[in-house]
Structure 1
Amino acid sequence: MATMVPPPPRTGPLVVQPLKRRHCGECGAGPLALLVLEEGAPRCLDCADLGHLVFLPRGDTALTRRSREESGLSAVVVRFNRRQSRYERQGVLVEEAALARAEERCLADAEARRRRRLRDARRRAAEDVRFTEAFARNIRRLFPGCPADRAHAIAAHASVRGSGRVGRSAAGRALSEAAVVSAVRAAVRHTETPYDQLLMSGVARHEARRRIASAVEATLAGWREGGPTGEGDPAGESGSTGEDGAGAE
């Protein structure tokens, strides 16, 4: 029978997952799924006084660490990798009661993490609401003619967390006038002019912006002055400017 490659020395019991069929050199049991090498001969877990332990596969670092902390006796399980010519860790053997206690600790931690995530989510949601309201107030300050619901919609769109939009830029978080105006101009461009239709029809972005620029500025001017342009659909004079500009090309 070929001699097994001895695993590297380490403190504490070391258990091997054999690659070939092995039988216990003491009681003859086998083939063995797990064995201990004693003086070069395989021993089953019962003969090695490890038969009362249960196997915990690798993968959950916290559970493994806590299981070994809770267990008075534990063993590392390894298997030889022929391609790498080395033993690799597969898991641990621990006392069953220790594993149960470790699982309870991990579940408690998971519940604590879940509650913390909920608290953080509620806190971020409250922060987002406050920021959106502040952004909307600044829109109304700069554009008093912009309807309140429209200002809130623009603010909510511009300040979505993780969106990368202007409301989440450094200037946006500081509520700078340039950022607020930029958000309002973008909203007017997309929702109150034929800009999107121009893009869909194949017009280049810069050309599409040029065509609707006068309509955008007319709407912004009306909102700044608090005039009727901001209260309804800017499809009047400013809208006809955009349409004429598009038709002139």
Structure 2
Amino acid sequence: MEEQRPKVQRRVIAAAEADLARQKYVAPIDILSQLGWLPANFVDKWRTGRSAHLEGVAVDEAKVRTALGYLRSWAEQQGLLASEMPYLAGTRDRRPLRFTENGEPELERIFHTHWVSPNLSEKRREQLEARQSKAPDLVVISPVNDWTCRGCGVRGDAGEFMFLEDEAPHCLDCADFGHLVFLPAGNAAMSRRAKSESGLSALVMAFNRRRKRYQRLGILVEQAALESAEQKCLADEDVRALRRVRDAERRAAGDVEFQAEMAEAIRKAFPRCPGERPQRIAEHAAVRGSGRVGRSAAGRALDDNAVRAAVVASVRHLDTPYDELLMSGVPRPVARDRIRAEIDRVLDSWM
């Protein structure tokens, strides 16, 4: 039955099932994007109000209608709930967005219809709808080239913040952002609090040429909101410091327990391993964040091969001239070949 469906229908259903599992709703615009029919950069341009509509960006209207017809049929078969969602532009006026050039009623309604899981509670559904209908954050750009403000004609330098309105650059004063202060990214708690308390805010983005995408530099917020956020974060610092200490103690306790288990596994595999050597090997191999074999998935499972690898590494560096060979310029594969017999001799004596 699945193979008898048209290829486009199978792709639509696969994308819809993935979206429903991940976010509990399915939106037509997301499906078209996943089909590759609606480039993400055009959607971003549209959402921020720099493009009036999406008509002509995707494939032809007939294919779009066919794909969204498949989506509707699948959603109704699944018992999903239809909910019409507004789309607002990321502009100061938060104007409604159009999907089609002339606002064709039927196609606009199709695009606005989201399909929501019936398993969500009414409260959860209301929260989801509120989040979906929320306009994107206002975005201020840190440009890579010089620019000229459309409002006042003043020339701006590269890196000096500007606001794009209808594709035209505006300085912060002309965009009515001049009274806001910049909070660099890096302190998530402070950024979250400052943004929530600021009546007006904007994300600050810059284009990363190496990664070929925009990345967040920070936010613009009102001075009073920033000061309030700073005070609340300072008040919470003692609590967070205590939590960090407790987390560190808990991790340390877990490390000590795991190192003891690894040391015991080494003793079982190499019963003649002398004195405290098993414990020292385990402590070295199982250091958190070290990338050593003890922190690998196999090492944490105390796999026999991983335990042996930890012991071999210890013998290689402490019981053979391996390090001296490397320092004298001997290539690593050659050095390992030279000391292999010595490692085997030590391990045999520990068995």
Give TM class, smaller chain.
0.5 to 0.7
Q: Aligned equivalents of 1:191 and 1:116: distance in 2? A: 39
Q: Report the CA distance between 1:210 and its aligned residue.
A: 2.0
Cα deviation per residue 1:35-90 (whole Å; 9 max; x = unaligned)? 9x9xxxxxxxxxxxxxxxxx77231523424544xxxxx6679xxxxxxxxxxx85
State yes or no: 1:193 paired with 2:323.
no
Look up the match of 2:181: 57
Q: Report the CA distance between 1:197 and its aligned residue.
A: 1.2
Q: Aligned equivalents of 1:101 and 1:174: distance in 2? A: 48
Identity between Structure 1 and Structure 2 (%): 47
Cα deviation per residue 1:164-183 (whole Å; 9 max; x = unaligned)? 11111111000011111111
- Tell me, what secondary structure is at the counterpart of 2:329? coil
Q: Identify if the C-alpha distance between structure 1 residues 204 and 112 changes in structure 2 by more than 3 Å, giving closer, same or farther.
A: same
Q: Aligned equivalents of 2:182 and 2:222: distance in 1? A: 7
Cα deviation per residue 1:196-221 (whole Å; 9 max; x = unaligned)? 11122222222222221121111111
Q: Report the CA distance between 1:122 and its aligned residue.
A: 0.8
Larger radius of gyration: 1
Cα deviation per residue 1:114-163 (whole Å; 9 max; x = unaligned)? 22221111111111111111111111111111123111111111111111
2:300 is aligned, of 170, 173, 179, to 173
Q: Identify if the C-alpha distance between structure 1 residues 90 and 142 changes in structure 2 by more than 3 Å, giving closer, same or farther.
A: closer
Q: Aligned equivalents of 2:288 and 2:180: distance in 1? A: 41
RMSD of aligned Cα (Å) = 3.3
Question: Could you list the runs of 5+ residues in structure 2 that have no partner in the other structure?
Answer: 1-90, 95-151, 155-172, 184-189, 203-218
Q: Aligned equivalents of 1:106 and 1:209: distance in 2? A: 53
Q: Aligned equivalents of 1:127 and 1:56: distance in 2? A: 46
State yes or no: 1:162 paired with 2:292.
no
Larger RCO (CA within 8 A; separation ≥ 6): 1
Q: Aligned equivalents of 1:66 and 1:105: distance in 2? A: 13
2:236 is aligned, of 109, 128, 145, to 109
* Contact persistence 1:56–1:93 (CA under 8 A): yes
Q: In the alignment, residue 299 of structure 2 is paired with which amino acid? A: G
* Contact persistence 2:195–2:221 (CA under 8 A): no
1:144 is aligned, of 271, 276, 299, to 271
Q: In the alignment, residue 92 of structure 1 is paired with which amino acid? A: E
Q: Identify if the C-alpha distance between structure 1 residues 165 and 93 changes in structure 2 by more than 3 Å, giving closer, same or farther.
A: closer
1:91 is aligned, of 217, 221, 224, to 221
- Tell me, what secondary structure is at the counterpart of 1:58? strand
1:122 is aligned, of 229, 232, 249, to 249
Cα deviation per residue 1:101-125 (whole Å; 9 max; x = unaligned)? 6544322333332222211111111
- Tell me, what secondary structure is at the counterpart of 2:291? coil
Q: Aligned equivalents of 2:327 and 2:227: distance in 1? A: 61
List structure 1 runs of 4+ shifted beyond 6 angstroms.
none
State yes or no: 1:212 paired with 2:336.
no
How many pairs are equivalent?
Answer: 164
- Tell me, what secondary structure is at the counterpart of 2:222? strand
* Contact persistence 1:166–1:183 (CA under 8 A): yes
Question: Could you list the runs of 5+ residues in structure 1 that have no partner in the other structure?
Answer: 1-6, 11-17, 21-33, 38-54, 69-73, 78-88, 225-249
Give TM-score scaled by structure 2 length: 0.40
* Contact persistence 1:66–1:102 (CA under 8 A): no
Q: In the alignment, residue 322 of structure 2 is paired with which amino acid? A: Y
Q: In the alignment, residue 324 of structure 2 is paired with which amino acid? A: Q
